[in-house]
Amino acid sequence: MDQTKRPLLIPPEFANYAEKNGVFDMYKKLLEQLIINKPEDPIAFLIEQLKRENDDVPQVIILGPPASGKRSIAKLVCAKTRAAHLTMENLVAEAEVDVKEQAEQFISRKQAVPDRLWLRIIQSRMKLFDCVKKGWVLEGFPQTRDQAQVLQENGIYPKHCIILEAPDTVFIERAAGKRFDRVTGDVYHTTFDWPTSSIVQARLEEVVGNTEEEIVNRLVNYHRYIDGIRRCFSTVFKTINADQPKADVFSQAYTFLCSQPRTNAPHTPRIILLGPTGSGKGVQAALLASKYNIVKVSCGQLIKQAIVDEKKSGLAAKNYIEKHFPIPDNIVMSILKERLSQLDCVTRGWVLHGYPRTRDQGEQLQRAGFTPNRIFFLDVPNDSVLERLTLRRTDPVTGDRFHLLYNPPLSLEVKERLEQHPTDNEDEVRRRLAMYHLEVEELGDLYVDGQHVNADQDPHTVFECLESVIVNPLPKRF
């Protein structure tokens, strides 16, 4: 890049490539694995790590008091994500023979299995193909802070930890009606979740250890340790109210699992605001640019500026404007490309509104290397748009803008001299709305990660919705 040229034009390809392929996060994960595993041959180890097809798999711990629904939620999560379901029972049953015998000896004597033995069992299980390839959901473990720390010390740390909680009286009531199907391993309840099959009903058994006294003792033990466990997983845990229908608990749990932690990777915002005329794109772009010091890019303003500066592309666009013809996409793209390649846009990021209006324009933008990392569709009903635009007026003397409903002039003199802009008449607004709705479906197909925001509310409320999506990673798709 020649630094003597002004303005400096920086191609966007490198930043797009690094962000798309998670280069920064890849380095971070490789260093973490080196520190955790301490291999004798670091190079061979790193090569083996890079050969893995997918390292972004679920790694979930689900905890909660007895009868909180851990088993049901874990099964639903595994069915949705195809991850391996790990319980304390099947971990022991599937362990290597010598380790299994040691664990069963402790269990038969009703003694606690040592933490280091649990570690051996869990480590060997998580090295198997299904856990590596599809991820894992660990149910009901760890049960103490010491167990959580042992896992952490050996590099086993979940991406998400779900803790199910409710009043103790709820769990005592649930435990009394809990029934177990020994054939399938499913858990039912006499009141809340009774099976429809008479065959299944006939083979259900009461769960051992579910008397009221035993449940109370287990609840006391749970509350003794849960705060310490919560501190161990303070950055990845979420508490969910278990005293609600199972479908609602799972919905909240799955939404949490789809969330991703914030990354330390450099992030340059590249935002596109789409929406019908009058949806507030310009207002939201100005708010975002002001708060986050990113460049506000208005396609319409760029074209006007290019005409004023008598640039070649501007003069070409002027001919079409004077004849009331639409400006060809290649002319608009040349004006836009020049602006988005400048140093401030590349280093600080940009928020673009007024473009693209069609799928072809969006594809041209991507081919030029300007791939957005946040896309918002500002949804506003047609009636609200008509109310916003057709009642706008301008004072030709002062240049002040008013709205006959929301911001009327204070004096009759000013009201009488107000004028309506030609583009704000009802027929013209309806025409622009029709054009937008004709193209928005294809734009939605192009920008599948686009977030729809209800823009028919206070501008600052809309801004908070946009901001929450910009500062947090986009939800993951399983």
Q: Are residues 279 and 188 both part of a single domain?
A: no
Q: How confident is the model at residue 289, as a pLDDT?
A: 94
Q: Are residues 130 and 185 both part of a single domain?
A: yes
Q: Are residues 175 and 292 both part of a single domain?
A: no
- Classified as helix, coil or strand, 187 is strand
- Establish if 218 belongs to a structural domain: yes
Q: How confident is the model at residue 173, as a pLDDT?
A: 83
Contact by Cβ (8 Å): 369, 17: no
Residue-wise pLDDT tens digits, 360-397: 999 999 988 888 989 999 999 999 999 999 999 999 98
Q: Which stretches of the chain score pLDDT less than 50?
A: 1-2, 4
Alpha-carbon span 469 to 462, nearest angstrom: 11
Q: Are residues 189 and 322 both part of a single domain?
A: no
The two tokens of residue 242 are: 């278990």
| DSSP E strands, 342-459 | 350-353, 374-379, 392-394, 401-403, 451-454
Torsion-angle region of 355 (φ positive above 0: left; ψ -120 to 50: alpha; else: beta): beta
Q: How confident is the model at residue 2, as a pLDDT?
A: 47
Q: How confident is the model at residue 140, as a pLDDT?
A: 93
The two tokens of residue 350 are: 């940009």
Q: How confident is the model at residue 1, as a pLDDT?
A: 44
CATH number at residue 353: 3.40.50.300
Residue-wise pLDDT tens digits, 133-153: 899 999 999 999 999 999 998
Q: Are residues 345 and 444 both part of a single domain?
A: yes
Q: Are residues 250 and 347 both part of a single domain?
A: no
Contact by Cβ (8 Å): 268, 346: yes
Sequence-ordered list of residues with C-beta below 8 angstroms from that of 196, at least 6 positions apart, any chain: none
Tell me phi and psi for residue 188, to 5 degrees.
-125, 175
Torsion-angle region of 87 (φ positive above 0: left; ψ -120 to 50: alpha; else: beta): beta
* Opening angle at CA 234, ends 62 and 175, nearest 5: 30
Count of structural domains, the chain: 2
Q: Are residues 276 and 219 both part of a single domain?
A: no
Q: How confident is the model at residue 4, as a pLDDT?
A: 47
- Residue written as token pair 């905890």: 63
- Residue written as token pair 């990845």: 236
Q: Are residues 248 and 325 both part of a single domain?
A: no
Contact by Cβ (8 Å): 16, 24: no
DSSP letters for 79-108: HHH--EEE-HHHHHHTS-HHHHHHHHHHHH
